[in-house]
Amino acid sequence: MEWLILLMVCGAAYFLGSLPTAYWMGKWKKGIDIREHGSGNVGATNAFRVMGKLTGLGVLLIDVAKGTLSVTLLPALMDPFTGLRSVWMISVLGMLAIIGHIWTPFLRFKGGKGVATSLGVFLFLDPVSTLIALGVWIVVFLLFRYVSVSSMSAAVTLPIVMVFFLRPFPIVLIASITCIIICYRHKSNLQKLLLGTEKKIGKTP
């Protein structure tokens, strides 16, 4: 019975993360497929560019909330039945939510880049390290105006800071895996940066 509940909760974490906020918001607010506009990405940055600041902010907050709920609400619901509300289990649920956002079955497993949902996960798991990484994101963005560079810089910073603060191994592990995935998901942005065609925020894609 415990294993069935664990599988159900893991599935719920993946499902929660996989909800394609930007895609649905585009359909609801603008009657568009956001994948056909801007950068084509179904994430908060493209939502800001294509649908404006207010809608973009809504997408960002919901995507962050998906990550936070996966490591707060779901473990709380699971705990009375299993008693396995461990760091390992919560870390796995967070990782599943991030994976769900990036590879969502709602869009043929082609989702966003995982930055906002990762922020929601790690804000709960390690708020101090995450706020430091967020600070790096802000500084890099103000200097260069590239969201992609900011996101990769923050992703790399997070596990390094966690190691420095001696955080639990499961949290450091999923932060490291998330870093690799986020950098991989930005490979097209890296190519554009090398070619000089990457767009700074505020410019038409």
What is the C-alpha to C-alpha distance for residues 201 and 145, in angstroms, rounded to an integer? 6
Residue 23 has φ and ψ, to the nearest 5°, of -65, -50
CA-based nearest residue to 62, from 18, 126, 31, 92? 18
**pLDDT tens per residue across span 93-139:** 999 999 999 999 999 999 999 999 999 999 999 999 999 999 999 99
What is the C-alpha to C-alpha distance for residues 112 and 201, in angstroms, rounded to an integer? 17
**What pTM did the predictor assign?**
0.93
**pLDDT tens per residue across span 144-199:** 999 999 999 999 999 999 999 999 999 999 999 999 999 999 999 999 999 999 98
What is the C-alpha to C-alpha distance for residues 84 and 7, in angstroms, rounded to an integer? 13
CA-based nearest residue to 79, from 187, 138, 6? 6
What is the C-alpha to C-alpha distance for residues 117 and 97, in angstroms, rounded to an integer? 7
